Structure 1
Amino acid sequence: MTKPIGPICNLDCAYCYYLEKEKLYPGTTNFRISDETLENYVRQYIAAQEVAEVTFAWQGGEPTLMGLPFFRRVVELQQKHRGEKRITNALQTNGTLLTDEWAEFFREHQFLIGLSLDGPRELHDRYRVDKGGHPSFDKVMRGLALLKKHHVEFNTLTVVHRANAQHPLEVYRFLKENGSGFLQFIPLVERVGSDSMFAEPPAPDGTSGFSPVTEWSVRSEDYGRFLCDIWDEWVRRDVGNVFVQLFDVQLGVWLGLPASLCVFAETCGRAVVMEHNGDLYSCDHYVYP
C-alpha cells in the first residue's frame, strides 16, 4: 500500500485516523512523493515479487490530490520496470475530485477504484465533510456517476459507524442500487488518546491499559446485527451477484482456504505501507513514531 501524498486530504472526516499523521512530520510542507523515491519504489517492488502479476495499491490521504500527471508517470515507470510481469493498480478515493479525464485514464489503464461511501445522504454526511464542514455526498455521487459513465471497475468501502449501523438494509440496498457489486464494510472503533490524537491500537500481548472509544465508534452488538441483517438478505437474493468481502473471506476460511483479509489471517503485518518519504510501516493502523 502506497501513500504518495501521505495523510493530506481535501476532506476532514470526523473519524479519519490518518489525518493526524501529519503531526509525525513536523515542519514538513510538501507531502508529495519525489520522482526519485517513486521510481526506486516501483522498480524494487516489482523486482521483489515472485508472482506473474504485481498489484500496486494507492491510498492516502486522498491520492488524486497528486494530480493525473503523477499517475501517468506511475504507469510509465511500471511499464519501464515490469519485465515479463503483468501490472495492475488499485486506488482508494473519496471520489470528490474525479473528472471525465480521471475516469478515462482509469478505464484506459484498468485501474480498480475503491470509492468511500457510507450510505445514503444523511448517513454519509454524518461524518464525511470537507475542510469547511460542508457535506461531501453530492460530490461523491458525481464521481460515482463518472466511473459508471466510463465503465470503470469500482467497489465501495463503507465505514460502519454509530449512525449507519442502525440502518443495515438501507445502506446495503443503496450501495447495490448505485452499482456496487463488491462491498467492504469496515467497523469503526477508535480509542480516545491524548494531545488531540487517537490512541494507538492495543498491544498484541494484551498489556495495554483500558482506553475509552470515540462517540462515533460502532457498538459491537450493533455491528453484529448490521452484518446479520445484510447476510440474511444477501444469502436469499444476491449470492453470486453481489460480493461482500467479509462474507466471502469467512466462507473461504470455513472451506479451509487461507484468509485473504488480514484481520482474519493467522498473522498480521504483511500489508506493508509506504509513506510519501519512503518510510515503511507494517500496517497503516500502526503508523506511529
Structure 2
Amino acid sequence: MSTTIENFQLLSKPTSSVCNLDCEYCFYLEKEHLYPERKHNWQMDPETLDNYIKKNIQSQPANVIDFIWQGGEPTLAGLDFYRKAVELQKKYAKNKTINNFFQTNGVKFNKEWATFLKENNFLVGISVDGNSVHHNKYRKTRSGKATYEMVKKAIGLMTEHGVEFNTLTVVSDTNVDEPIQVYEALKELGAKYMQFIPLVERIANKPTEEGLYLIKPDFSGQSDIAPWTVPNDKYGKFLNKIFDYWLEKDIGHYFVMNFEQTLTQLVGGRSICVFEPECGANLALEANGDIYSCDHYVFPDNKIGNINNDDLTELVSSEQQLEFSKGKLLNLDTDCLSCSVRKVCNGGCPKHRFLTSSSGLRNKSYLCQSYKEHFSYVVPKMENLIKKMFNQ
C-alpha cells in the first residue's frame, strides 16, 4: 500500500454549507446539521484561513499550488476575506505559483467582484443548468424566486471584465432529455468551457443520528432514489448526443471537460478522481478547519483531522485516508474487472456504488449502464482522433 497521496487538493468551504440559494437538489445544505453550534458563527475565521493558506502551500511538493473555494456559497464570505486570502498567499508562496478556483452561483456578483476576480486571476466555475426552464426548475432563491437571469447577469459581468470562467451543469431528470438544447444554451451565454455532472442522490426514509437524509452507499436503512436524480439509462445518451454535436461543429472552439478528461486518459494522462483507479486526493476543508476524506464524504466517520491542530501532510498520509483511497479499487465491482471500458471508468465514484452487482454485493455504480454506453461509444472515435493528431 502506498504511504502517501501525492498532489492532493483541499476543497475549502469558507462559508460552510451556508448559501443564499435553496437549490432543491443540493447535497451540501444539510451539512449544517453536523455543526449545530455554528448557526451564527459559520464563516472561516482568520486563524483557520491563515493555517489553510500556509499549510496548503508548505505541504505540497509541487511548484503550482491550487486553492479551491466552494460552498455553500463562497461569495458570502465577502471580498475582504478573499483580499486577505490573496495577501496570505503572497506571504507564504515564496517561489511557488498560486492558482485560485472559485465555484459560485454568481448571484452576488457585481463590478467590484468582477474586478477583483480579474485582477487576481481567479478561474470561476459558475453553476448553470441549461436554459431558463432547465435552470429554474431546482435552482431557486430561499424565497422561491428563479435565478437564471441573475446567473446570466453574472456571466455578462465576467465577460465584460475579462474574467476567465467555465460552466458547471448538473444533469438531472429535468434536462437529461434535451442535451443539445442545454449545450446550445450554454454557448449562447458565452461559455467556452463546460462540464456536465450527473446528479445521483438517495434519500433515507429516516434521518441519520446527525440529521442527514442524503446518505452514503453503505447505508443499511430504507431509502429511495431522489426524484431529481438523473435516470441511470439516460446520462450516457445525453453525453453521446453532445459529443457528436461537438465533434461535428465545435471541436477546437468549445471545450467539454468530460471529453477532455477521457482524451487525457487515452494518451496516458490522469483524469478526475471519479475515473481514477483510486481516489482520496480531493479532500474537503470545512470552515472551522475540519478536514474530510472527500467533498462527497462529509460525514462524521470520514473526518480525518483539523487544519488548525494537525500536520496536513500527516493527515493526507494517515492510515484512515489511505484506506479511503484504496477502498475504491478494493471495492470494485467484479464485473468491472473484465469490462471493456474499465481503463477510462474504473467503476466511477464510490458514492454512486449502491446497486447490487452479479457477485451479490452492493458495489455496482448506479451509473454503470450510462458509463458503459458513453465510453463504448466515444472511446473508438477519440482513438481515431488521436491517431489523426499524431499522424499529421
For the aligned pair, the TM-score class normalised by the smaller chain equals over 0.9
Match of 2:232 in 1: 220
Report if the CA contact (8 A) 1:281-1:287 is conserved: yes
Match of 2:246 in 1: 234
Structure 2: which amino acid aligns with 1:57? I
Deviation beyond 6 Å, 4+ runs, structure 1: none
Report if the CA contact (8 A) 1:181-1:242 is conserved: yes
Distance 1:255 1:283 in 2: 27
Unaligned runs of 5+ in 1: none
Report if the CA contact (8 A) 2:152-2:189 is conserved: no
Query: What is the deviation of 1:55?
Result: 1.0
Match of 1:182 in 2: 193
Report if the CA contact (8 A) 1:200-1:286 is conserved: no
Report if the CA contact (8 A) 2:27-2:214 is conserved: no
Overall identity of the aligned pairs, in %: 46
Match of 2:29 among 1, 19, 24: 19
Match of 1:250 among 246, 262, 273: 262
Match of 1:104 in 2: 115
3-state SS of 1:98 partner: coil
Q: Which moved more, 1:235-244 or 1:34-43?
A: 235-244
1:67 aligned to 2:67?
Answer: no
In the superposition, the TM-score normalised over structure 1's length comes to 0.95
Query: What is the deviation of 1:232?
Result: 0.7
Report if the CA contact (8 A) 1:4-1:33 is conserved: yes
In the superposition, the TM-score normalised over structure 2's length comes to 0.71
Give the aligned CA root-mean-square deviation in angstroms: 1.3
Match of 2:47 in 1: 36
3-state SS of 1:97 partner: coil
3-state SS of 1:11 partner: coil
Match of 2:296 among 274, 285, 288: 285
CA deviations 1:174-201 (Å, max 9, x no partner) are: 1112211111101011101123733323
Query: What is the deviation of 1:40?
Result: 1.1
3-state SS of 1:71 partner: helix
* Matched residue count: 285
Distance 1:81 1:155 in 2: 28
Q: Which moved more, 1:274-283 or 1:46-55?
A: 46-55
Distance 2:201 2:257 in 1: 22
- Structure 1 or 2, whichever has the larger Rg, is 2
CA deviations 1:72-125 (Å, max 9, x no partner) are: 000000001101111110100000000000000000000000000001111100
Match of 2:140 among 129, 144, 164: 129
Distance 1:192 1:212 in 2: 5
Report if the CA contact (8 A) 2:31-2:212 is conserved: no
Whose RCO is larger (CA < 8 A, sep 6+)? Answer: 1
Match of 1:6 in 2: 16
Q: Which moved more, 1:209-218 or 1:39-48?
A: 209-218
Query: What is the deviation of 1:281?
Result: 0.6
Structure 1: which amino acid aligns with 2:212? M
